[in-house]
Amino acid sequence: MPRLPPARSPGAPVGVLVRGVVLLACALLGGAGWPDASTPARTGHRAPEDAAVVITVEQYRSLPHVPYATRDAEAIYRWLTVTRGVSARQVTQVTDPTGDRIVSAVVKGAEQVGAGGTLWIFYAGLGALVPSTGLHHLLGRDDTLDHPTGPALEDLALVLADARAARVLVVVDASFQGLGRDGTPLDPAVTITDVALPAPSDPGVIIWPAAAPGQLAGPLEATRNGLFTWYVLGALQGWADGVVGAPDGQVTLEEAQVWVQRRLQALDRDQVPPVDPRPEARGWVLGPAWRAAPPDLSDLAHGPAPELPEAPLVAGPEEDDEELPLAEVEAELRSQFQERADADWAAAYAAAARKDPDATHLLERFLVRYAGWTFYWQGHLFTMSATQVPDARRLLGAGGAIKEPLVRAVRVRGGTVTLGSPAGSPGRRPDETLHTATIPHDLEVGETEVTQELWTTVTGTSPSASRGRYLPVERVSWRQALLFCNELSRLEGRDPVYEVRGTRVSWDRSKDGWRLPTEAEWTLLADPGTFPDHPDPEHACRAANVGDASLDAPPSGPLGRYACDDGAQGSSTVRAHDASAKGLYGLGGNVAEWTWDAYAPLGADPVVDPAPDRPAATRVVKGGSFRAPPHDVRTAARRPLGWDEVADDVGLRVVRTVRQR
């Protein structure tokens, strides 16, 4: 496929926008010739089970006002009560409310709607996306950009899914990128980059925003309305009837959304509201079409389009490539997009790791360019976000530098420990030669095994067989564990300890980054008697998720099986069992844990740990797992595993050298 040449993208992210954007509210022509979209018709339709919440915030205490928001709300109220036939007693109107009042109004509406009815929610005001959480908040009159008290749309979607309503439609005339309706920055010192709203998990809940990510929800000066609200009113009057299929005297949600999107896209104003793609939403009947013939809007003046601050990040197909399969076009666009993101992320990430003062600017720029980029081609819409966007948002929320540790750690003092087991111990294996090892330094140790949430945050991958944020990561090789430790160290601004070049690996002991424990260090972490040679089944069941009577396999080995029968056929959450006296969870079970050491029979002479590097393809795994019998859960037990092998009961715990003694 040829390299795609430049093409304009109406949905490009606007991002910072306080630099170089042409404000949207300029130089619109007068209102002559504009059809009336706000005067409702008395259709005789009744919706006794419906309820509605109409929220308008036009006057903010410390943020820019929202021109015409009150007019928008009044027009929507008239359509609901006159045309749709919702009882006025079932409509909650709030004007210039606080964030808490917005929440209480929505709760009231959810209580008023009847079983099988539709709950209508309309909001006109300011929105803001909180970078640290990625949530889209509706702002109350007293809110500031960095401390919104108004509800997040993502949270509302979850709450409204439990309402008695058969359907919930939330219409939002606001953008979420830190700009007012006329393009005025809400706070010049704060940058917010809009990203796409996720579709609610409940198909009965629809959120209809005024613009795609990175776009401005602007005004329509000619009619003194919000641009989006005016077109929504037009669609509800009946102008959208027949835009999908044949006219039938009613307006469905799909018809309304498609009509509004097409009309606004034709304006070349960089405000193109999305269409909900879920099949369940398409057939919703919003109301009767009382003006079935749509007016001719082609000659009406809408004003100039804003200029985009960035050149397109990806290109569009050439005209002679119009017959290319859609999947090929999308794959090429996404490939180009991620390739450019990878290059920009390297610079932003490195600046954050070394606490460079320029890191905040680089992270902001990265989010501007790579969070929620929208590209249109041949009537198709592609929305792309770089894989590094969550990390960029998290770092930006931390002030552009890595300040809070990603690992909850405890301090463990060094000392001398005994490795191996005495001759004649039940379950003993020949490689468990008894000897002592001295650890001459203290350790910071992860309280738990590395979770899947942390692994995904650091690497962007999810390799585990059992899935869950707080389950331990597993099915990771020894080599992958070393690379994870290096990346985790960089994210926290520490020096990585490992150099990994193919099959050649070395450990720089002068560095302070995260790493795997040695076998002796792992033994130090295990309290004396935690899992002794003669294990106590009751203690074992409290201390860790270990192989027990719930397993289908028959008892094996001289120690039989534990009798806890906890029913855990796989891993459990990392804090599901009691912590040890040293404050560590799951050390003896759940998943076994990689160590640094090469696998070989232990010697009998005392040693000072860590021993010199020993190249080996097989490494030591310590601790039992959810399927391990008692003789494998003993502190002395050790397990060989190839450095590039994975297992669904092997994960890792990280440690760090903190002080030489």
Region 390-411: mean pLDDT is: 69
What's at 572, amino acid-wise?
S
Q: Regarding the domain delimited by 409-660, which CATH topology (the fold level of the hierarchy) does it fall under?
A: paralog of FGE (formylglycine-generating enzyme) (3.90.1580)
Q: Which of 3-12, 48-57, 163-172, 326-335 has the highest mean pLDDT?
A: 48-57
CA-CA distance, 43 to 287, in Å (whole number)?
Answer: 10
Taking a C-beta distance cutoff of 8 angstroms, is the pair 290, 238 a contact? yes
Per-residue pLDDT averaged across 322-341, rounded? 77
Question: By the 8 A CB rule, do 455 and 652 touch?
Answer: no
Taking only the tens place, the pLDDT of each residue in 263-301 is 888 776 778 898 888 887 778 888 887 655 667 676 565
Q: 3-state DSSP call for residue 160?
A: helix
Block residue for tokens 């050390």: 587
343's tokens: 């290059």
Beta-carbon contacts of residue 294 (< 8 Å; ≥ 6 apart): 234, 238, 239, 240, 259
Q: For 213-251, what is each residue's pLDDT tens digit? A: 878 898 888 888 999 999 999 999 888 888 887 888 889
DSSP calls for 412-442: E--EEEEES--TT-TT--TT---EEEEE-EE
- The predicted-structure confidence for 547-562, as pLDDT tens digits, reads as follows 765 554 445 555 555 6
3-state secondary structure of 343: helix
SS3 235: helix
Residue 408: which residues within 8 A CB-CB, separation 6 or more? 446, 447, 448
Q: Residue 15: which pLDDT band, with cuts at 50, 70 and 90?
A: very low
Question: Residue 169 pLDDT more than 70?
Answer: yes
pLDDT above 70: percentage of residues in the chain: 77
Determine the pLDDT at residue 645. 93
Residues in contact with 448: Cβ distance below 8 Å, sequence separation at least 6, in sequence order:
408, 472, 574, 575, 584, 585, 586, 653
pTM check: above 0.75:
no
| Surface-to-core class of residue 10, CB atoms within 10 Å of its CB (0-12 exposed, 13-18 middle, 19+ buried) | buried
Identify the pLDDT of residue 563: 59
What is the three-class DSSP state of 117?
Answer: coil
d(CA 539, CA 564): 9
pLDDT top residue among 341 and 293: 341
* Rounded average pLDDT over 395-412: 69
Q: Cα–Cα distance between 144 and 62 in angstroms, integer?
A: 7
Tell me the three state secondary structure of residue 554: coil
Question: 632 near 639, Cβ under 8 Å?
Answer: yes
Q: What is the DSSP string of 47-112?
A: -TT-EEEEEE----SSS---TTHHHHHHHHHHIIIIII---GGGEEEEES--HHHHHHHHHHHHHH
Average pLDDT over residues 401-429: 81
Q: Look up tokens 């309304």; give the residue.
A: 256
- Mean pLDDT over 427-431 rounds to 84
SS3 label, residue 256 = helix
pLDDT for 405 equals 66
The predicted model gives 472-497 an average pLDDT of: 90
The predicted pLDDT at position 316 comes to 47
Tokens 């990203």 appear where?
195
Computed over every residue of the chain, the mean pLDDT equals 78
pLDDT category, 37, cuts 50, 70, 90?
A: confident
Cβ-contact 588, 624 below 8 angstroms: yes
What is the Cα–Cα distance from 379 to 342, expressed in whole angstroms?
28
Confidence of residue 51 (pLDDT cuts 50, 70, 90): very high
Which band of pLDDT confidence, cut at 50, 70 and 90, is reported for residue 206?
Answer: very high
- 318 has a pLDDT exceeding 60: no
Please confirm whether the linkage preceding 610 is cis (ω < 30° from 0).
yes
Q: Which of 106-115, 140-149, 189-198, 454-463 has the lowest mean pLDDT?
A: 189-198
Task: For the chain, state the CA radius of gyration.
Answer: 31
| In the block, residue with structure tokens 């809007």 | 297
Beta bridge partners of 377: 380
Pick the range with the lowest mean pLDDT from 82-86, 359-363, 657-661. Answer: 657-661
DSSP-derived secondary structure for 466-531: S--TTSBP-S--HHHHHHHHHHHHHHTTPPP-EEEETTEEEE-TT--S-BPPPHHHHHHHSPTTSS
Mean pLDDT of 483-508: 86
How far apart, in whole angstroms, are the C-alpha atoms of residue 563 and residue 554?
13
3-state secondary structure of 179: strand
Predicted pLDDT at 52: 95
- pLDDT score recorded for residue 43: 78
> In the CATH scheme, what is the code of domain 51-224?
3.40.50.1460
Cα atoms in the 13 Å half-sphere on the side-chain side of 386? 27
State the pLDDT confidence band at 98, using cuts at 50, 70 and 90: very high
Stretch (H or E) spanning 262: helix 253-266
- Side chain identity, residue 265: Q
Tally the residues of the chain: 661
Q: Give the helix/strand (H/E) hosting 219.
A: strand 219-220
| pLDDT at res. 372 | 58
Alpha helices, H only, 311-388: 326-353, 359-370
Query: DSSP assignment of 602-640, as one string?
Result: PPSS-EESSPPP---SEEEEES--TT--HHHHSTT-EEE
Candidates 131, 127, 171, 182; CA nearest to 151 is: 127
- Can you tell me the distance from the alpha carbon of 535 to that of 631, in angstroms, rounded to the nearest whole number? 9
Sequence ranges of the chain with CATH classification 3.40.50.1460: 51-224
Delimit the CATH 3.90.1580.10 region(s) of the chain.
Answer: 409-660
pLDDT value, residue 262: 87
Location of structure tokens 């962007």: 460
Cβ(571)–Cβ(626) below 8 Å: yes
pLDDT at 16: 24
Q: In what order do the strands lie in the sheet with 655-660?
A: 409-412, 441-446, 655-660
Q: Assign 6 a pLDDT band (cuts: 50, 70, 90).
A: very low
Residue 81: band (very low, low, confident or very high) from pLDDT cuts 50, 70, 90: very high
The predicted pLDDT at position 151 comes to 92
Band (531; pLDDT cuts 50, 70, 90): low
* pLDDT classification of 26: cutoffs 50, 70, 90: very low
Q: Look at residue 321 and tell me whether its pLDDT is greater than 70.
A: no
Strand partners, 622: 593, 638
Largest distance between two CA atoms of the chain: 100
| Whole-angstrom distance, CA of residue 629 vs CA of residue 115 | 54
pLDDT of residue 229: 95
584-615 pLDDT, tens digit per residue, is 998 888 999 999 999 988 888 888 887 667 77
Annotate 618-655 with b (16+ C-beta within 10 A) or e (fewer): ebbbbbbbbbbbbbbbbbbbbbebebebbbbbbbbbbb
